[in-house]
Structures are given as C-alpha cells and as structure tokens.
Amino acid sequence: MEKDEFMQMLKPNISGEHSSSNAKANLSFTKMQALGNDFVLLDEAELVSVFTTLNVKSEAATLSKLAVKLCDRHFGVGADGLIIVGQSKNDCDLSWTYINSDGSTSAMCGNGIRCLAFWAVEKQIVKKNEFNVSTAKGAVGILYESALSIQSDLGLPLLNPAMIPVAEANAEPVVRKEFSTSCGKIFITCVGMGNPHCVIFNPAFSADSYGQVASELQKDAYFPQGVNVEFVRLRDSRFAEVIVYERGCGLTLACASGAAAVLVAGVLEGCLEREATVRLPGGDLQISWSGEDHHVRICGPANISFTGTVDLSPFKRELCQP
C-alpha cells in the first residue's frame, strides 16, 4: 500500500474532522460488577440519540459491534457484557437488551440483571423495591433490599431439551448423560435459564483440564447455540463450589444463571437441596428452587465500579459496515 493511500485511510481519525460534533457523540456509561462479573450499562434513549446524531442505525447487528468495541479490555471500557436499559415494556417497569463481549446475544444474565436493578434504583428510574424487568426470557421479578441483597426471580427452569436447546431426540430432561471428551468420560445435566447450561458434578480430571473440556463441549453439535459449562465440586447438599466457562466470554469470575442451573441440576441428580449456597471465584450466591411455584431465585450483591463517557464518533465507520 502506498504511503498516501495509507494516510488517507487514517484521515478521519487524525484530521479532527469530527471534533465539532464530539460533544453530541459522547455517550454516558456506567461500569458495574456483580461478584467480579462486569458490565457496561447504557441508557437506550441516550444511545439512540447519539446514533441519530452519527446517522447510525440502531439495529441488532450494530449493537453487537458496539458491544465488542465497548467490552474490549484494551481499547474499550472493558467488560464481560453490554447491558442496554430500555423503558417499560410488556407491562414491566423496565426492559433490557443483553449482549456478550463477543457480540453474541443472550436472553438472560443473572449477575447482569442485578446490576441493572441496582442502577435503576440508584438513579431512581424506579422508586420501589419490587419491580419487573422485561427480557427475552420473559418478565424477571426483582426484590431490592440493599446493594448486598438483590433477589431476582428467573421463573421456571427450562428442562425440555428443545427449549434449552440441546440436540436430543426425546423430550425427557437430560440428566447425567454420558459424554466423551479428550480428558475422559463425563456425565452432564442440561438446564436452560434463558441461556443453555451444561453442569458437570465432581469431574474426575483436574481443574487444569476444565478449559479444554469446556471448549470441546461448546463446539459440539449437541449444543446448537453453544453452552455455558459449569464444573462443580460438591461440599455438602447445601454448598457447592463452581467454575464457569461462559459462551461468549470464556472463564468468568461469576455466572449467576450458571449458579442457578447448578442448583436445578443438583436437585435433579439428587445431590443438592432446593436451597443452597453456590460459591464462585468472585463470591457466593444464595440460590433456591421453590417446590411450590417451581421458580428459581437468586440473591446476591451488585455495585457500581465507575461512570464515564465515551466518544462514539471514531467507531462510526465500523458500526456502519455491513
């Protein structure tokens, strides 16, 4: 490539042509974390306004590209996922869009929903301690007591293989299904919590092999939409230690929907009670699976790390690319 041609490519970034519109292209964000699982939160109305200024279409493909940019830990804000908070929808007080750091979408993120709840209460978007959030999984009920105690009601776990989804011929729950990996035989139990989970209790191999096995499972055709993989060491019937490899972001400090899936899988396998503590590298969550309404509930903390603004004008070219 000739020097002049190369410099022409750089021109939009070095010429200052967009400097006069920088203020209008600045987007406020809130960086949050729950047990070390971190997120960038955006207000949907403000995002749409900035997109309009930049003449960028607010559509799914664009939002995925934005998530990749903002979640990049070297060139962006850095996060496991992007949360876009919308106004009331489907008779709920708020709505959300959740996008993983690789640009893929997910209907549910248990830690993310608590961060959204804390953000909404802190900003007084909602002025009550019980409210509902509209998600692709359905309405999620929130009970806010404090930053250390935020309960989310994720509703019914999905056990029908087609709903998880997993490529299983019958409609029976997948419990202790034998699976072959490069590290040996494992037994998996599959649960849907608005995203797919594969739970493995007390694997025979060491933690050094978890990443390899998780990668094999996530690429397997048995999981057509990928899968979050949970490796569980049981301490007793009310306490489990879990390592999670999430689809879309890999090894993570915490995955609340994964912790919920572990409890459901443990009840199905007969090794956990309906209420238990699930310890993740980032901290503990209290999980319950009601024997009455059969809803799964998660209780744990969330907090704000910092707030700031980001200029989206340098991203315009990439956001507009097909």
Domain ranges of the chain: 3-144+304-320, 161-294
Q: Answer for the pair 104, 247: CB distance below 8 angstroms, yes or no.
A: yes
Confidence band (pLDDT; 50, 70, 90) for 115? very high
Check if 3-144+304-320 and 161-294 are the same fold. yes
Q: So what's the pLDDT on residue 22?
A: 56
Q: So what's the pLDDT on residue 88?
A: 87
98, pLDDT greater than 50: yes
Confidence band (pLDDT; 50, 70, 90) for 248? confident
Q: So what's the pLDDT on residue 265?
A: 98
d(CA 135, CA 110): 11
Residue 32, SS3 per DSSP: strand
17, pLDDT greater than 80: no
% the chain with pLDDT above 70:
93
d(CA 137, CA 120): 20
CATH of domain 3-144+304-320: 3.10.310.10
Q: Answer for the pair 278, 299: CB distance below 8 angstroms, yes or no.
A: no
260, pLDDT greater than 90: yes
Scan for tokens 């979050």, then name that residue.
Answer: 228
- Residue 5 tokens, joined: 């041609």
d(CA 114, CA 286): 13
Which helix (H) or strand (E) segment holds residue 15: the answer is none
Lowest mean pLDDT: which of 9-13, 19-23, 74-78, 110-114?
Answer: 9-13
Crossing angle of the two packed helices 256-269 and 110-122, in degrees rounded to 10: 130
pLDDT in tens, 157-197: 999 999 999 999 899 999 999 999 999 999 999 999 999 99
Give catalytic residues, as residue numbers.
Answer: 109, 255
Region 227-252 average pLDDT: 96
CATH superfamily of the 161-294 domain:
Diaminopimelate Epimerase; Chain A, domain 1 (3.10.310.10)
Q: So what's the pLDDT on residue 4?
A: 52
Mean pLDDT score of the chain, rounded to an integer? 92
Confidence band (pLDDT; 50, 70, 90) for 321? confident
What is the separation of C-alpha 227 from the centre of its chain, rounded to a whole number of angstroms?
12
12, pLDDT greater than 80: no
112, pLDDT greater than 70: yes
11, pLDDT greater than 70: no
Cα Rg for the chain, rounded, in angstroms? 21
Q: So what's the pLDDT on residue 222?
A: 98
Q: Answer for the pair 61, 70: CB distance below 8 angstroms, yes or no.
A: no
Q: So what's the pLDDT on residue 298?
A: 98
Q: So what's the pLDDT on residue 24?
A: 76
d(CA 137, CA 140): 8
Tallying the residues shown for the chain, one arrives at 322
Q: So what's the pLDDT on residue 21?
A: 47
